[in-house]
Amino acid sequence: MADIESAKATFNSFDTDGDGFVTADEYRSAMAKMGDYAVTGPVAEAIIKSKDENGDKLLSFDEFWNSLNK
């Protein structure tokens, strides 16, 4: 099981506008800042979609947390 405080810090670093959700563009941008330029827009969209439980094309903290604990 993941550490919830570390997970919150990671999630918040991806949620650059602080609205409580990570978009595909925020995900792509965060990965690029970490040096992973292979995460293009379509790749980021696919990753978000794979973790998006309610189909809103956004990643909430709960969805992120659940994906860490599968």
The angle at the Cα of 51, spanning 53 to 29, to the nearest 5 degrees, equals 130
Determine the pLDDT at residue 1: 52
Determine the pLDDT at residue 70: 84
Secondary structure E strands in 1-70? 21-22, 59-60
Q: What is the pLDDT of residues 6-46, one digit of tens each?
A: 999 999 999 999 999 999 999 999 999 999 999 999 999 99
Please report, for residues 4, 11, 50, 69, 70, the alpha-carbon distance to residue 25 in angstroms, rounded to integers and kept in the order given: 24, 14, 15, 24, 24
Task: Go through the domains of the chain in sequence order and give each one's CATH number.
Answer: 4-68 (1.10.238.10)
